[in-house]
Amino acid sequence: MSDNDTQNQLRICLAASAGGHISQLLKLAESWNGYETFCVTTTEVVRDKLSKLGEVYVVGECNRQHPMKVVTVLLRCGRIIFKEKPDVVISTGAAAGGMLCFLGKITGAKVVWVDSITNVERISLSGRMVRYIADLFLVQWPELAGRYNRVEFVGTVV
């Protein structure tokens, strides 16, 4: 089997909330060129923008202030992960991205987390949880890499 066959067989889940999270994720597009991808996001507004990358799933917004929405989004994310069976989950956050990372890890996927550039003082809440299971955890400020274990700085996305 050649490297191209292996590359084309990898399924990558691209997960990010709408807005700045999705913008930062899309700046990394070269890193998954040639791979089979699908996207998971939080609102319909970005569906067209993402559709060129593959199937797009919209799971809805959630946060810790609305626990029932969290449960609903978690169940939607679970259905997607078990249907799509990604080999890799790449996420820039937020809550739904974190959920997809955990669910992906449970099913054997590698997890790549890129914390938002807006997190200057500390890693995001979702990032602080995902950090323990991530295979690669990137921050966009060198000071953050020095403050946390299992965190790397390799440059900024924006």
Please report, as a single letter, which amino acid is at residue 128. Answer: R
Rg over CA atoms, the chain: 15
Average pLDDT over residues 80-106: 98
Query: CA-to-CA distance for 64 and 46, rounded, in angstroms?
Result: 23
pLDDT band at 157 (very low <50, low <70, confident <90, very high): confident
pLDDT at residue 1, as a whole number: 44
Q: By percentage, how much of the chain surpasses pLDDT 70?
A: 94
CB-CB contact of 66 with 73 (8 Å): no
pLDDT digits (tens, 9 = 90+) for 17-58: 999 999 999 999 999 999 999 999 999 999 999 999 999 999
**3 pLDDT higher than 60:** no
pLDDT at residue 4, as a whole number: 53
Whether the model pTM is above 0.85: yes
Please report, as a single letter, which amino acid is at residue 44. Answer: E
- Name which of 83, 20, 27 is nearest 55 in CA terms: 83
* The two three-digit tokens of residue 106, written as one number: 């449970």
